[in-house]
Structure 1
Amino acid sequence: MTDQLIPDRPAARPARAARAKRGKKRTYAASFIYDQPGPRGRRNILIGSVVSSVVFIVVIGIGLWQFASHGQFAPERWQPFTDWAIWQYLLVGLLGTLEAAAIVAVLGGALGVLLGLGRMSNQRWLRWICSAYIEIARTIPVLLMIYLMLFGLPQIGINLPTLWKLVVPLTIANSAVFAEIVRAGVGSLPRGQREAALSLGMRGAQAMRFVVLPQAFRNVAPSLITQLVSLLKDTSLGYIVAFTELLYRGQVLASFLHLLIPTYIAVTVIYLVVNGSLSALASRLQRGSRRRPSTQPALPGLPAIDTKAANV
């Protein structure tokens, strides 16, 4: 009987160790930015969530009741939105919004990575310049920079195209935010990650590029997606420079149809669908990255480690 029980004990240990390891990974993925709340904190969070949801539902209900009492839900006011030409007009504005957001995301993201790395540089002068840029760009309102592009630069002979009058201010503002997100992601990693890469013979730039930054981006992926959603909403400031984006097209359509509330409700629905789809895609990618099995890479010139054989 003893001989039958002894083989079962080692078999149960790897299963318990695997469950504990998965639990540690989930805890780390959820709490590398903040500490896990205790029982009282979780209860307060639950109460706050319930109260906020009830207040939100009440406010939405009062708003819908006010709209209905003033005839905003009358069928004749929504009849123009059954025409495909109306939606096609709004979708052209949506394409302009996505175009501006994509350009700002690429330029602002690349500049933000450089600024974030520069702020962590060992060179004092480079760190000072990047820090000054980030603080100034985060302090100046985006609307003020747009007015500078619209009225200030033409006074000195610089007249940018309409798209770039919107893209340049948004790139300046969002690059500073991206830089802080990147810096927070790098700071969340253990110091041993970079030291281990250097011990393998990598240079500092290679360790940052192949080891540190990929893990940092994975840790701050929710913050990056949140900033992209905020960026998509900031493109609505394009109406100031008469750029053909979604909100500008909605204003023109509302003036043409004399239907202010229905038009802006339709524009709001489009924003909700786009931003909600972006957030859902980000959550799915993040869950997929956590479920992906981790493989132990082989060192250059050495064979790959067979983990199954090592556990036997």
Structure 2
Amino acid sequence: MSSVLFDAPGPRARRRIRILNVVGALVVLGVLAWVVVGLARQEQFTADKWLPFVRPGEENIWTDYLLLGLWNTLRAAAVSIITSLVFGLAFGLGRLSNLAPVRWICGIVVEFFRSVPVLIMMIFFWLLFATSVPFVPSGESPFLAVVCGLTLYNGSVIAELVRSGVHNLPKGQREAALAIGLTHGRSRRIIELPQALISMMPSLVSQLVVILKDTALGAIITYSELLRSAQISATFFQNFIPALLVVAVVYIIVNFLLTTLAGRLARRLDRRTAGGARTAGTIPGAAPDLHSASVPDAGPGR
């Protein structure tokens, strides 16, 4: 028995693979145990380190740090998601244009911003807004830099998702649209693009989660998002590990809610576009189905 890429392992190979898996798991567990013991020696798991989360004092770790950072994270993520979707749809359709110059320009823009790391773009726009754009307030330059960096990178990825989603549709969709008199542009906007958006929804949801998590890069350019706020609070309360664990749980909850919301939206759109199949006998005004109609039994001898 063989696979396309490699032969199926035999009994000895499977035994070696199991041994290596067990050894690797033991090594990972040993490293984790070593890290936990080291943190325990530094008293990072004592009850005093967790008290600021359940018993606020003069400095409230939630209202003064974490909730403010969460709001900044959600604000940057929401704006970046909207602008990335607009950028992705515009340049994705541009890459599908019948005009060669439009395709070339959109292709160059998308490939360029896909190749540049997000952090470099954030630092570039942060320095640009802080030094060369006088009408941008100094306090808003980190926020705008985070939004611009996330928009250009993730919008380019979404543009590629749009292009690939439209190309993966059956050719009959486009041919049927052209047969009823639609132009290529109207066929893409009215028929092909809605179906492509539904088919690429899982990849799109993953990219939205990436946008939310990449807002943490704003901490490097002094944007007070959730991670930076946790670092500042941990410096004040001296509870770095509990603060990072709490932030990790908050990120997991927010990403889970975003994924759930996007999944429900995708299912609703799928139901609206697909629709339920109905038989001819159930459609008002349609002729009854003679093949499925019951014929009374004539009885014996008739």
Whether TM exceeds 0.5 here: the answer is: yes
Indicate the residue corresponding to 2:44 in structure 1. Answer: 72
TM-superposed deviation, 1:271: 0.6
- Residues 271-282 of structure 1 mapped to structure 2, 5 A cutoff: 271-282=251-262
What TM-score results when the alignment is normalised by the length of structure 1? Answer: 0.73
1:109 and 2:78 are equivalent in the alignment:
no
8 Å CA contact retained: 1:296, 1:305 = no
Distance in 2, matches of 1:305 and 1:279, equals 42
Deviates more, 1:162-171 or 1:64-73: 64-73
AA of the residue aligned to 1:67: V
Deviations 1:160-206 (A, max 9, x none): 33321211111111110010111111111101112212222333333
Distance in 2, matches of 1:104 and 1:200, equals 38
**Residues paired across the two proteins, number:** 265
TM-superposed deviation, 1:63: 2.6
2:144 to 142, 155, 164: 164
- Residues 169-188 of structure 1 mapped to structure 2, 5 A cutoff: 169-188=149-168
Indicate the residue corresponding to 1:294 in structure 2. Answer: 275
Distance in 2, matches of 1:57 and 1:283, equals 37
Flag as ranges the 4+ runs of structure 1 deviating above 3 A: 38-41, 51-62, 152-160, 280-293, 303-312
AA of the residue aligned to 2:78: A
**Structure 1 residues 115 and 210: alpha-carbon distance in aligned structure 2, compared to 1, 3 A threshold:** same
AA of the residue aligned to 1:151: L
**Structure 1 residues 311 and 213: alpha-carbon distance in aligned structure 2, compared to 1, 3 A threshold:** farther
Larger Rg: 2
Distance in 1, matches of 2:90 and 2:200, equals 16
Deviations 1:26-45 (A, max 9, x none): xxxxxxxxxxxx8999x99x
TM-superposed deviation, 1:149: 1.6
RMSD in angstroms over aligned alpha carbons?
3.5
Q: What secondary structure, in the 3-state scheme, does the structure 2 residue paired with 1:146 have?
A: helix
Q: What secondary structure, in the 3-state scheme, does the structure 2 residue paired with 1:189 have?
A: coil
Indicate the residue corresponding to 1:151 in structure 2. Answer: 127
Q: What secondary structure, in the 3-state scheme, does the structure 1 residue paired with 2:61 have?
A: helix
Indicate the residue corresponding to 2:67 in structure 1. Answer: 91
Q: What secondary structure, in the 3-state scheme, does the structure 2 residue paired with 1:111 have?
A: helix
**Structure 1 residues 151 and 203: alpha-carbon distance in aligned structure 2, compared to 1, 3 A threshold:** same
Indicate the residue corresponding to 1:249 in structure 2. Answer: 229
Question: Which structure's residues are more often helix, by fraction?
Answer: 1
**Structure 1 residues 304 and 131: alpha-carbon distance in aligned structure 2, compared to 1, 3 A threshold:** farther
AA of the residue aligned to 2:86: A
**Structure 1 residues 304 and 59: alpha-carbon distance in aligned structure 2, compared to 1, 3 A threshold:** farther
**Structure 1 residues 52 and 150: alpha-carbon distance in aligned structure 2, compared to 1, 3 A threshold:** farther
Distance in 2, matches of 1:60 and 1:207, equals 56
1:228 and 2:208 are equivalent in the alignment:
yes
**Structure 1 residues 276 and 204: alpha-carbon distance in aligned structure 2, compared to 1, 3 A threshold:** same
**Structure 1 residues 187 and 255: alpha-carbon distance in aligned structure 2, compared to 1, 3 A threshold:** same
TM-superposed deviation, 1:146: 1.6
The answer for unaligned runs of 5 or more in structure 2 is 293-302
**Structure 1 residues 310 and 255: alpha-carbon distance in aligned structure 2, compared to 1, 3 A threshold:** farther
TM-superposed deviation, 1:307: 9.8
Deviates more, 1:261-270 or 1:288-297: 288-297
Indicate the residue corresponding to 1:141 in structure 2. Answer: 117
AA of the residue aligned to 1:268: A
8 Å CA contact retained: 1:67, 1:73 = no
8 Å CA contact retained: 1:138, 1:176 = yes
Indicate the residue corresponding to 2:298 in structure 1. Answer: none
Question: Matched residues, percent identical?
Answer: 37
